[in-house]
Amino acid sequence: MILYSYIDSALGQLLVASQDDKLTGLYFKGRHHAQIVSTWIRQDDVEIFAQTEQQLDEYASGHRKDFDLPTSLSGTPFRMQVWKEIATIPYGQTITYSEIAQRLGKPDAVRAVGTATGANPLSIIIPCHRVVGKCGTLTAYAGGPVRKTALLDFEAGKIETLHAEALE
């Protein structure tokens, strides 16, 4: 059974989903929004949602650089590889789609890496905002270009805290 709720965070309103006490989705409302299906049940008092909200608040205030939430992902083997690789990108650093393809031993799979990155179900937790185009160019981001720029600037120390009002 999939449970869902909404979190008001410094990153804006987020849709969160869980199954078996593990976080399965974190989506920007209005931009990168999973389709809630009739079998999902809204439940706001789920412990994993409270943990997620707390860790996101700690991240947005500069007190957390890594997340340690129990998660459960589902996707093709290739997508799972891409997400695993993205999860290793250190706070404050970026990597290109082609570098990920190289690391996976599939240098011609740059577009497939981009597609997998765009399908990331755990924004921020799996930090796909740290994936950039050639020469460091900013590329599409489920949270939008303003949010991606702010996240990268925040992690680079150019801004002190994140505020939802500035990201929408």
Can you tell me the distance from the alpha carbon of 133 to that of 55, in angstroms, rounded to the nearest whole number? Answer: 28
Range of the domain at 112: 77-167
Q: Tell me which residues are annotated as active site.
A: 128
How many domains does the chain divide into? Answer: 2
Other beta carbons within 10 angstroms of residue 113's beta carbon come to: 26
Q: Which three-class secondary structure string do you get for 100-165?
A: HHHHCCCCCCHHHHHHHHHCCCECCCCCHHHEECHHHCCCCCCCCHHHHHHHHHHHCCCCCCCCHH
Residue 65 lies in a domain: no
Task: Output the six-digit token pair for 139.
Answer: 């590329």
95, HSE (Cβ side, Cα atoms, 13 Å)? 22
Q: Which two tokens stand for residue 1?
A: 């059974």
**9-37, pLDDT tens digit by residue?**
888 889 999 999 999 999 987 655 567 88
pLDDT tens digits, residue range 97-117?
999 999 999 999 999 999 999
**Does a structural domain hold residue 49?**
yes
Shared domain for 162 and 84, answered yes or no, is: yes
The model's pLDDT over 82-100, given as tens digits with 9 standing for 90+, comes to 999 999 999 999 999 999 9
Query: Do 87 and 51 share a structural domain?
Result: no
**Assigned domain for 68 exists:** no
Residues 13 and 89 in one domain: no
For residues 6 and 88, membership in a common domain is answered with no
Together in a domain, 132 and 82: yes
Written as six digits, the tokens of 63 are 């007190």
Residues 6+ apart with CB under 8 A from 115: none
Query: In this predicted structure, what is the pLDDT of residue 145?
Result: 80
Q: What is the CATH number of the domain that holds 95?
A: 1.10.10.10
Please give the Cα distance from 2 to 102 (Å, whole number): 35
Q: DSSP letter for 13, please.
A: E
Residues 104 and 45 in one domain: no
- Judged against a pLDDT cut of 70, whether residue 167 lies above it is answered with no
